[in-house]
Each structure stands twice: as C-alpha cells, then as structure tokens.
Amino acid sequence: MDEAVRADWGRTDMDLTSMGGTRASPGRPTEVVVDLTRIEDNAAFLRALLQPGQRLMAVVKADGYGHGAVPVAEAALRGGASWLGVAVSEEGVALRNAGINVPILVLGPSHASQICQAVAYDLDLTIFDHAQLEVLAHAARAHQTRARVHLKLDTGMGRVGLQSDQLDARWVNALRGPDLSWVGISTHFAASDDDDPEPTRRQLSRFLDALEQLRWQGALPPEIHAANSAAVLKYPGTHFTLVRAGLALYGLKPFDSVDGLKPSLAWYSEVVYLKTVPAGFHVGYGGSYTTDRPQQLAAVPVGYADGYRRIWSNRSHVLIRGRRYPVVGRVSMDQITVAVPTEDPVNVGDRVTLLGSDGDGAVPAEELAFLMDSIAYEVVTGVSQRVRRRYRSD
C-alpha cells in the first residue's frame, strides 16, 4: 500500500467535512429542513382566532415535535405566542439555557428531582397529587422563591390529573400556601379532534363546574386553560385565558377540514446509487418485491434508524423531480430502494423528498401516518436525531 494512503487510513482525527470539498452542507445528504417563517405564520394564524386577553402557548415538547425546540420556540414567539409548553423539566431547562425567558409550563408529571430543577429554572409545574406539594414547598424554600404551579383536573381524559369532583377545600388551602404561587388551572381533552363533539362537551361541562366552585370561594387562579390545537380551531368556548397549541403550530392538521395552516417540515435525501435491472429482480431483505419489468432502482440513504418506518416497506412513495415513485422492498436500517421506470430521467445526486412537496407532488405527514395506522404527531417526532435539522426563513 502506498505510504501516504496508509498514513491517511490510519488517521483517527479525520476531518470528514474537509473531504467533501466545496459542498455547502457536507456529510450524509439526509436532512430535515424546517421553514421557520411558516411556524411564525401558523402562530399568528392561531393567535388571530383568540380574543383580546387570551394568550397562545406554543407547545414545543419532544424537541418541538421533531422540528427543533429552540428555533421553533423563537419563531412562535415572533408570531405572537407568549407562553411555551414542554413535557418534562429537562426540555424547559434547554429553552432557558438558550436565553428564553417567557413563562414555560411543564405539561407532564414531574419526578421529585425534576420538580427541584423546574423551581431552580423558574418553570411552571403541572400538579395533581398532594404528594407533590411537599417536594414543591421544599424546593421553593431552598431557592427562596415561590413555586409556580398549575393544578390539572381530569375531566375525562383518564390519564394524570385530579378527578375534577375531588377538588376540595384542602386543595384550595394547599395551593394558597406560602411557598406556592398558584398560577393556573387546566384540563386536557381526549377527543377534541373527533367529529363527535359530545365527549368534549362533557369534559368542558365538568371543567366549568370546577371553575364555578372556585369562583364561589374567590379562589380562581389567573390562568385557565384547556384547549389543544383541535379545540383552538373548533371550540372557541374552550379558549379561556390561554390555549396550548402544538400540532397546528407546525402546520399539521388535527382534522381534515382545516384551512390556513402551513406545514413547516420537509424531509429530504438524495439518490446515491442507480442501476437498471431486468424483470424478475428481487429487492431487499426477504426479497419482498420483485420487478415485473425492467426498472431503475434508486438507493436512498435513509432507513428505520432515521425514523423512516419499516412498516412503510412496499407502501410509501417519495418524490424525485416532482414525480411520485414507490419505495420497493423492505426499508432497511439505513437505506431504502425506490423504483423508477426506465424511461424517466433520474440521476445520482437528485434530491429525494421523503416528506413535503416538490413541484406539484406532495407527501404530507398525514399520508405517512395513515400508512402506519397512526397520526402525524408520531411521524414528525419519529425522525431520529441522526437526521440533521436545517432552518430557513422565507
């Protein structure tokens, strides 16, 4: 072996970025591109559905539904959101460390160590259990502050939350204690995206009963919130003082008949290898696809380890040069194969749109969700951290 080659081979500090020459974004061509202007526009659109005095919380849990929490949060705040929502305290800390200082509510349940962290970083906490109160009081005293809390009522979601008919004087007294700042009361709808409004109506009615009871005691906290995206769009009577929108902020539809939202995430890769094969050619693990005529097979470097689901094997489509082509054979961990008719022009280096639009073609997140018997939330949050995120503003 040539000495120079041998030397290079053995280098452990190989700078891969310099090997790509002049390419603007070196490395694997598989990436998510998020249009932050669209996030901003969606926030403004949702905001316009609210009355004066009602505010928008941008829900940016799970790394901003896979879009990237910090850039999304900043875009949503530019678009008129004034609160942020996260699932766990660690996500709130990341936003604080990025210099964001608006109110941030931890929507999910918190472990004792997370409660301490939340208090230290001035995050609002969701509580529903007396056992949490002692930890809160302790953390508040340790940080010489009052812990900001929102009481969550279960009005029919059947998950975390105090059963709304168990809100009693003991709770009210505890929430008015010296170490707490009782900021809000909330509930969460189980079926606001459903065609049938009855379940939401029943939940709303239980929530209103609880609010009425607090009003009688002169104990209503300043913030009252219940609406997720679907309820923001469909049920103005659920807006109260604050709404919590996730899905719609990203331009994804909680139900079909929504207009005015702009999808903000596109997922791209590239054709890295191309060959023409005869009829009767088997493709991929298990040979689950056999060509019925000569075809071009395009290899695309994305797989289930990137969040391109194995269940999409022989089901999903991608776009190349604006045209739809089927994914054939099994989705592997790191690769898929796309079948292109021999007469269609395709080249190595062509962009492949896995999710998003290209010319007249589109592969919406809702389509990929349907193919896995799920919802768009799972598609976008499922794009793994191996996939680079890039941001643009129109």
Ligand X SMILES: *Cc1c(COP(=O)(O)O)cnc(C)c1O
59 lies in the binding site for ligand X (CB under 6 A): yes
Using alpha carbons, list the distances in angstroms from residue 245 to 223, 320, 354. 16, 33, 26
In the set 47, 148, 244, 330, which binds ligand X (CB under 6 A)? Answer: 244
State the catalytic residue, choosing from 152, 234, 285, 304.
285
Nearer to ligand X, 237 or 294 (CB): 237
Phi-psi region of 154 (alpha: psi -120 to 50; beta: other; left: phi over 0): beta
The answer to whether residue 247 forms part of the interface with ligand X (CB under 6 A) is yes
Question: Which residue number, 184 or 246, has a Cβ lying nearer to ligand X?
Answer: 246
Nearer to ligand X, 128 or 267 (CB): 128
What distance in Å separates the CA atoms of residue 259 and residue 256, rounded to the nearest whole number? Answer: 9
Q: Is 229 in the site for ligand X (CB under 6 A)?
A: yes
Rounded distance between C-alpha atoms, residue 291 and residue 279, angstroms:
5
User: Is residue 316 within the footprint of ligand X (CB under 6 A)?
Assistant: no
- 234 binding ligand X? (CB under 6 A): no
Q: What whole-number distance in Å separates Cα of residue 310 and Cα of residue 307?
A: 9
Do the beta carbons of residue 207 and residue 168 sit within 8 Å? no
Q: For residues 89 and 110, is the Cβ–Cβ distance under 8 A? A: yes
| Least Cβ distance, residue 88 to ligand X (angstroms) | 11
Q: Which of 50, 95, 104, 107 binds ligand X (CB under 6 A)?
A: 107
Token pair of 341 as six digits: 């008719």
47 lies in the binding site for ligand X (CB under 6 A): no
Choices 22-30, 165-173, 212-220, 243-251; region in contact with ligand X by CB under 6 A: 243-251
Residue 200 touches ligand X, criterion: CB under 6 A? no
User: Comparing C-alpha atoms, which of 278, 359, 367, 355 is closest to residue 318?
Assistant: 355
CA angle (56, 59, 61) in 5-degree steps? 165
Shortest gap between Cβ of 90 and ligand X (angstroms)?
A: 15
Compare residues 32 and 59 and give the one whose CB is closer to ligand X: 59
Q: Which helix (H) or strand (E) holds 134?
A: helix 130-142
Q: How far apart are CA 377 and CA 247, in angstroms?
A: 7
Q: Which is nearer to ligand X, 230 or 319 (CB)?
A: 230
Kindly tell me which residue out of 38, 47, 55, 188 binds ligand X, with binding defined by CB under 6 A. 188
The pattern of x and - marking residues 65 through 84 that bind ligand X according to CB under 6 A reads --------------------
Residue count at the site for ligand X (CB under 6 A)?
Answer: 11
Which is closer to ligand X, CB of 42 or CB of 269? 42
Among 88, 242, 245, 265, binds ligand X (CB under 6 A): 245
Taking the complex as a whole, the smallest distance from the CB of residue 156 to ligand X amounts, in Å, to: 14
Nearest to 63, CA basis, from 341, 300, 389 = 389
Q: Is 285 a catalytic residue?
A: yes
Closest distance between ligand X and the C-beta of residue 149, in Å?
15
Beta strands in 27-123 (DSSP E): 31-35, 55-59, 83-86, 104-106
Task: Rule CB under 6 A: choose which of 92, 246, 329, 382 binds ligand X.
Answer: 246
Do 65 and 246 form a contact (C-beta atoms < 8 A)?
yes
- Return the range that interacts with ligand X (CB under 6 A); candidates 71-79, 135-143, 173-181, 239-247: 239-247
Residues in region 329-348 near ligand X by CB under 6 A = none
282-289: long-range contacts at Cβ-Cβ below 8 A with a sequence spacing of 24 or more? 282/329, 283/328, 283/329, 283/337, 283/339, 284/313, 284/328, 284/329, 284/330, 284/332, 284/337, 285/329, 285/330, 285/332, 286/330, 287/329, 288/313, 288/314, 288/329, 288/330, 289/314, 289/328, 289/329, 289/339
Q: Would you count residue 228 as binding ligand X (CB under 6 A)?
A: yes
Give the CB-nearest residue to ligand X: 246
How do 180-186 and 162-163 pair as beta strands? Answer: unpaired
Q: Does 233 bind ligand X (CB under 6 A)?
A: no
Q: Is 289 a catalytic residue?
A: no
In the bound state with ligand X, the residue whose beta carbon lies nearer, of 233 and 354, is 233
The rounded distance, in Å, linking the Cα atoms of 309 and 315 is 11
Residues designated as active site: 61, 285
Residues that bind ligand X (CB under 6 A): 59, 61, 107, 188, 228-229, 244-247, 254
